[in-house]
A and B are shown apart, each in its own frame.
Chain A
Amino acid sequence: MMLWIVPLLPVLMAPLIYLSGRREGCTGVTLLALSALIAVIGALALAMANDWQGSYALNAALVLQVGLVPSSQFVALAIPIMALPVLLFAGVHEQAPLGRLLAIMVAFVGAMELLVLAQDMVTLLVAWELIGACSWALVSHYWRDRDTVKNAVQVFLVTRFGDLGLYIAAAAVFAGSGGFGYSQLAGLDGSLMQVAAAGILLAAMAKSAQVPFSVWLFAAMSGPVSVSALLHAATLVAAGMYVLARLQPLLADVAWLMPAIMLIGLTTALLGGVVSLVQGHAKKLLAASTSAQYGLMWVAIGAGFPGVALLHFLSHGFFKAGLFLTAGVAERQAESYQLEDMRLGGRLPGSALLGGIFALALAGMVPLGAAWTKEQIISVAYAASPWLTAGVALAGGLSAVYATRFQLAMFGPVRFGRTQQRRPPLSGACRLELLALSGLAALTLGLSLFWWPGVQRWLQQQPGWELADVHLWLLAASLVLVVLGMALGAVLVQRGQLDGHQGWRRSAFCWWGLEPLTLGVGATLVKLSARLARFDRDVLERATLLLSRQASQTASALARRDADGVDASLYGSASAVTRIADFGATAGEALSERLPGSLSGLVNRGGGRARQAQSGQTHHYYAGMAIGFAVLLTLLLLGDAL
């Protein structure tokens, strides 16, 4: 049971963080949030040392299970480590109310831990939906802006569309085995296995922002920059990739699945690379690059090397978080995320240097760890197909181009003739921001150890980590592509050729119609619902209201006409009501042979008269029924009069 501490701790700390954010300044609440993350790391260390497990039965069928396997240990540890510098940065960079922001971020980490530790489809689904909800809350942090909130809704809906796949997959596992565990998933056969695999694939595509679901990442960019860093590096986007990596061994028998994963991954990697190439908004450039980098991880998973994908996830997480935070620092200076407005030159030397490290890692430059993990992906792709290798290497070259472009456009020297007036650099907070950036940079640099053969040997000895053999000529070729890409990027930035908004660049800007398509689907749904609502109101409901109005008019007219006798009015009103209910009455004539008189008498609290009515003649029963209705209707009319 102890393993539940890991996901629950941050979730339970979140309300505390929220409350402390309302009372104290930003220091206390940030410290509390960071200590929550450190506590998670500590709990994880304990869990690994003692091999904790956990299960929680809701009833006989629904049993939530968590446990540690090699891949989940690795990712579970990576997440809070990535989140630490991001939350530190958020604490000093973002605007109030910090309590809410940090609380949800910490809860987000907790939900993500639950997702990583899940051992069955229900737990996975629970965590899967929770991180979606957290992302909605985080993206809409600055809720006074209408568009921000709309974008948050888009983020939630697109990812939830994928969640439907997971609902179906979980149901398929239950249908085939009567349980929900991962082990039961492995034992599925035939069509149910196909359905489960398709559902999981759909869910992973949506969360991992693969084509055609890549667009929601752009919408998520209206959130605070630290939120973007967390989403892209450690949590929401990572979830899709992680689940595929975790379940890959169980799903390997589904013939079409692995080629599909590779194809989707490669397509996203290439398209995302081109989108990043032309995007002029710093955060959106990074967003498209995230899609592309996760596409590379998908290729590794499809090729049968989930361990390689997880290693690339690690290196990507550090440098991508770093890049987002750097963009946040630059935005404070330039007051815009448009690369055209930046060119911050020597104004932010520290951030420029650290940003350079991250950009080199994104480009895949030796000797950084990210370069090694990318080379691994190229190698595993080679094992699958030479064409795949070419595609992956090309995607690597593209990332070198846009990484260079990002760095130079942001921190390069001011172009001739475009000097701008800028505010002086902000002081104070900057130092802690730099600390967060330095931490991420140190981790990025530290991963260079991947190149050391000793580390590689150690990795290969771990259970569940399979690495590919590196071909030297492949390495050389891809490095040439990287260098060429960087050179090209530098030239393009110098000439300012990628900042245009015409021609193919314009359509690549928004994922070649994927963005209008996504929005169009939503708009169509809204239009359809409006039309249905109109039909419901103007046809179905109007008919109903007319019917009842007519009934009440007839009744009161009859009642008025026979004003001289109570009995007559009763009969009159009764006839109106019986007309409404005539379908019941005619259908029931055969059934009403014996007792309806006494029944309706009882119904209307006339129980005492019940026996008398049992005279055996049909018209008595009808009279009894009519009186019953009449009494009720009189009650109604009296109620109206009151």
Chain B
Amino acid sequence: MLTLAWCLPLLGALLLAFVPRWTERNARAFATLIAVISLLILIGAWFGFDPDGPLFQHVWEVPWVPSIGVAYRVGVDGIALAVVTMSALIFVAAIAYPLDTREDSQRSQAHQYYGWMLFLMATSLAVFVVLDLLLFYVFFDLSLVGMYFLIGRWGHGRPQLSALTFFLFTFAGSLALLLAIIGLYLSLDSPSFDIRLLIEQQPLAGGGLYAGLVFFGLMLGLAIKTPLVPLHTWLPQAHVDAPGPASAILAGVLLKMGTYGMIRLPLAMLPATFERYALLVGLLALVAILYGALVALGQRNLKRRIAYTSINHMGYTVLGIAIAASFSDNLMAKQLALTGATVEMVAHGLITGGLFLICGSFWYRTGTYDLDGYGGLAHRAPRLAGLTILLAFASLGMPGLAGFVAEFQIFAGTFAVYPWLAVPAVVGILVTAALFLDILRRLFFGKLPASLDQFKELDRIEFTVLSVLGLGVVAIGVYPGFLLEVIDSASVLLTGGR
């Protein structure tokens, strides 16, 4: 079932690549259809998931290279299920969303664009569902390739340089990750890449230098991807030069691989080592929260600003994970923090994914991200204004929307473990409030500049896609039970509560 969910996009990508003569329309419709089917399969998996059951469900294993312990293994726990379903939804949205195709040379390559999109979808979904460490690494890296081409070929500004920076940086992180994975692999008595086995046996529970090095390697690789300050420098320019839908995926899905990896690898496999460094990780997360928010406030470029809020929000996620790993017997607080961190991943995916799609719409219409050039659009484009306001308030943590459910749990859990870490972290939501209200003011209020007289309202597809994302944000905010139930099932087990 899970296999089908990620293989289907791969098949679609091959079809798009090798069957000639796709029109743009057909290619987009075909890719959207494939993505929707894949999403539906995952929703089906959601219904088949038993929150009271074992940690990993829908497991399927096929031996592959038994001599080195590699096998094709898939399965999800509550956290993976939530993140992978959200990712599929973001992919559907990004694929269905219109791309800026004003240049004719690009239009002819539309089927390649959708092909890469589906390829990226396949590899990204696979990252979240495989239970084999080696495959995890392979897909983790392959997703870089997909994103590299999306930015490099369909971006604007200086896309080649941005894409290369993105690739080299995250690839360097992958190397550290690879070495650490090998270290983990070798620490088992009978080496295997089975994630379940590694979680069960806890091979490096004794600590020591070896465990520390492995932990460091894992965290370095994952922190670059997340990204944590000061390893974030590849992110902003990659976002600015990427096309809107690719940005949505970069923020909504690819960044989650970092934090998902932190939960799946260090937190689950090296809890004893993570516990020793939890405070340090928490401090780094705090830096990311405050630095990300403040630097975002200092931006005059719409897309850069939203890119930096990603750093802030991913900081909350890492903070929640660090709390879950910390040395504390307040199991409830740790569980709350881990659930909060996962909800933050889902919420940030939907919210920031949507905001980046909106950035794409602005670029499509005006070709500028400069906030000073906008104003007074509330009347010209009320739907765009309404949806942007909804997503902005969700991002600044308004109750009733998804961000609050996540951030409140992270704060409460953090305070119970490290009170003095929680207090400055809360200040982050004040700065995000300032920066989002400032965005809304500059885009939609005040006088309409003469240059925007012809500004077009969202078209039907844009409106539908953004409404679906907005609906998801509201649903999680008002009725988070359906999400929390699934996530709690995993976070209880991972924090040792059951």
Contacts and interface: CB of A to CB of B under 8 A. Distances in A.
Question: Is B one of A's binding partners?
Answer: yes
Contacts of A580: 168, 172
B471 interface: no
B163 to A, nearest CB: 8
A170 B179 contact: no
A61 B332 contact: yes
B485 A544 contact: no
A58 B405 contact: yes
A426 interface: no
Given A171-B422, A552-B164, A130 B233 contact: no
Interface in A515-565: 522, 525-526, 528-534, 536, 540-541, 543-545, 547-549, 551-552
A60 B400 CA distance: 18
Contact of B415 (A133, A171, A529, A530): A171
Contact of A536 (B137, B295, B422, B427): B295
Interface in B201-238: 213, 217, 230, 233-234, 236-237
Contact of A61 (B178, B294, B336): B336
B262 to A, nearest CB: 18
B431 A174 contact: no
Nearest to A130: B399
A581 B172 contact: yes
Contacts of A602: 70, 134, 138
B22 interface: no
A464 interface: no
Nearest to A171: B415
B231 to A, nearest CB: 10
B298 A534 contact: yes
B146 to A, nearest CB: 11
A577 B164 CA distance: 11
B145 A58 contact: no
Interface stretch (B29-37, B264-272, B351-359, B438-446): B438-446
Contact of A129 (B141, B167, B298, B404): B404
B393 interface: yes
A5 interface: no
Nearest to B185: A595
Given A529-B295, A545-B237, A540 B430 contact: no
A529 B297 contact: yes
B408 A125 contact: yes
B441 A540 contact: no
Interface stretch (B1-9, B148-156, B246-254, B361-369): B148-156
Interface stretch (A66-74, A140-148, A349-357): A140-148
Interface string A576-594: 0100110111011001101
A585 B419 contact: no
A443 to B, nearest CB: 32
Contact of B433 (A145, A157, A526, A640): A157
A551 B408 contact: no
Contacts of B137: 603
A174 to B, nearest CB: 5
Contacts of B426: 164, 167-168
A125 B399 contact: yes
Contacts of A156: 433, 437
B14 interface: no
B456 interface: no
Contacts of B284: none
Interface string B125-167: 0000000001001100100010011001100000011001101
A610 interface: yes
B425 to A, nearest CB: 10
Interface string B176-188: 1011001101100
A97 to B, nearest CB: 10
Interface string A123-144: 0011101100100100010011
Contacts of B234: 544
B447 interface: yes
Interface in A166-204: 167-168, 170-172, 174-175, 178, 195
A116 B400 CA distance: 17
A142 B395 CA distance: 24
A42 B230 CA distance: 57
Given A174-B416, A543-B233, A596-B182, A639 B152 contact: yes
Contacts of B98: none
A240 to B, nearest CB: 18
Contacts of B405: 58
A599 B70 CA distance: 11
Given A581-B172, A598-B68, A636-B164, A175 B298 contact: no
Contacts of A332: none
A175 B176 contact: no
A182 B171 CA distance: 51
B381 interface: no
A607 to B, nearest CB: 8
A160 B480 contact: no
Contacts of B167: 636
A632 interface: yes
Contacts of A547: 165, 168
A195 B419 contact: yes
A150 B411 CA distance: 29
B434 A157 contact: yes
Nearest to B167: A636
A595 B175 contact: no
B15 interface: no
Interface of A: 57-62, 122, 125-127, 129-130, 133, 136, 140, 143-146, 149-150, 152-153, 156-157, 160-161, 164, 167-168, 170-172, 174-175, 178, 195, 522, 525-526, 528-534, 536, 540-541, 543-545, 547-549, 551-552, 577, 580-581, 583-585, 587-588, 591-592, 594-596, 598-600, 602-603, 607, 610, 632, 635-636, 639-640, 642
30 contacts: A59-B480, A61-B335, A125-B408, A126-B400, A136-B437, A156-B433, A157-B433, A164-B426, A171-B415, A171-B422, A174-B412, A522-B434, A525-B294, A532-B291, A532-B294, A536-B236, A540-B233, A548-B161, A551-B164, A577-B168, A584-B172, A584-B179, A587-B213, A588-B179, A588-B182, A596-B182, A599-B178, A602-B134, A603-B141, A639-B152
The 9 closest A-B pairs by CB, nearest first: A533-B298, A171-B415, A584-B175, A588-B179, A529-B298, A175-B416, A126-B399, A529-B297, A548-B165
Interface of B: 65, 68, 70, 134, 137-138, 141, 145, 148-149, 152-153, 160-161, 164-165, 167-169, 171-172, 175-176, 178-179, 182-183, 185-186, 213, 217, 230, 233-234, 236-237, 291, 294-299, 330, 332-333, 335-336, 339, 376, 378, 393, 397-400, 404-405, 408-409, 411-412, 414-416, 419, 422-423, 426-427, 429-431, 433-434, 437-438, 441, 444-447, 480-481, 484-485, 488
Given A57-B481, A584-B176, 19 more contacts: A58-B405, A60-B332, A61-B335, A61-B336, A146-B445, A146-B447, A161-B430, A167-B408, A171-B411, A172-B419, A522-B434, A533-B295, A540-B230, A541-B233, A544-B169, A548-B164, A549-B161, A552-B161, A588-B217
